[in-house]
Amino acid sequence: MLMGKRRGWGPLPKGEIMRKVLLLAASALLIPGMALADGEAAAPASASWFYGAGAGWTQMEMPEYGNGARTFDTGAGFEPLTEQADVDGVSYGFGIGRNTASGWRIGLYAQFFDGDGSSSSAVTIPLGADSRRGTLDGTLQGSGLLGVTFVGDQTLQVDVTQYWIGLGAGHQLTDMLRWDVIASYDSTGTDYDHVVDVLGGIVGQNIWTSSTNFEARTWELAARLSGNFGLMDDISLGLGGSAGWGLRNIEMKTVQRFFTAGPVLASDSTLVTDDDLEGFIGRLDASLNYAVSPATMISLTAGYKYDDMVPTYVPPVYPPAGVGTAATFTTESQSSMTYGLRLVGRF
């Protein structure tokens, strides 16, 4: 088979949808932004400082990755070998700001996330399959029908590191509702490492590697509405959501290598490209809060984030001869869920 099992995309099972909805309604998201100060009761009539700190576990659905070091046609056109892996890891958040006596709030917020994921699947490329290989600029280096059957496996490792900082300002609407506007900067690095390792009879071992790094820098302006609703003494439910528009610069660096029997390095190519994009970023969150004291609160957290500007690697396309289409990237939507615990205080 040419393609690995694809996970994390397509329609979700009904049970998975209900699980996410219930988690979202029962707890709260530790996302970047004003959520680190939400959930507390309305600020008192006098000015005060607030702080928020927390840690959470984040799961991200990542795009599928295609390794174009060698492509094959088994009847449906030339295709790269593909694999998909989701990412999870720990996120940390911090916020500090000022509540004024007139109901205004100004705050500075920060978040760090570091996560990874991996997957693997078996690979079988049948005898007689048509194949092409080349460089990242689309230059064909070799082609022909396979004289052996290749059998082996492919692995994909994905690593994501994110730094986020935001400045927000907003006002209390009622005792339970408030609005805020947040201007933020996000720096996210994502690494994909895909390796195909197969054996082909008298041909011996072949290894095809494709490694891609994306550096994404995003400036975002978002509007947020949030509320805090009392359930019983010292326990409340916080709900919130934001809609933002972002400007993103994405730089991609890809290295592709083909090792033939030995293995001996047969080709090595590198490509660097970048682009400027704009798009929508949305968040939903909720919090189950317990007031330890009038000035201190702890919260269980969970929530959802949507981003429609996540870069996806597009492998090169090789023609029957000459130069075809160079490797590039497009964008896909990404969903992430975060669950955690935070502490909010006021002094």
pLDDT in tens, 290-339: 999 888 889 998 889 999 999 999 999 999 988 999 999 999 999 999 99
**Where along the chain do its domains lie?**
14-346
Q: What's the pTM? A: 0.85
Under-70 pLDDT residues of the chain:
1-46
What is the reported pLDDT for 344? 85
What is the reported pLDDT for 7? 34
HEC profile of 201-216: HHHCEEEEEEEEEEEE
What is the reported pLDDT for 11? 43
Partners of 182 in beta bridges: 168, 222
Helix (H) or strand (E) holding 116: strand 104-125
Cα(129)–Cα(246) distance, rounded to whole angstroms? Answer: 44
Residue 203: both structure tokens together: 């041909």
Tokens 């195909």 found at? 196
What is the reported pLDDT for 38? 56
Tokens 């999870």 found at? 88
What is the reported pLDDT for 4? 36
Cβ–Cβ under 8 Å, residues 152 and 201: no
Residue 146: both structure tokens together: 């396979």
Helix (H/G/I), strand (E/B), else coil: 18:
helix
Cα(155)–Cα(279) distance, rounded to whole angstroms? Answer: 31
Cβ–Cβ under 8 Å, residues 65 and 330: no
Tokens 């689309």 found at? 138
Say which CATH class 14-346 falls into: mainly beta
What is the reported pLDDT for 267? 84
What is the reported pLDDT for 9? 35
Residue 281 has a CB neighbour count (10 Å cut-off) of: 22
pLDDT tens-digit series, residues 220-259: 999 999 998 999 989 999 999 999 999 999 999 999 999 9
Backbone angles phi, psi at 17, to 5 degrees: -60, -45
What is the reported pLDDT for 126? 93
Cβ–Cβ under 8 Å, residues 74 and 22: no
Partners of 145 in beta bridges: 130
What is the reported pLDDT for 45? 54
What is the reported pLDDT for 314? 96
Asked if omega into 263 is within 30° of 0 (cis), the reply is yes
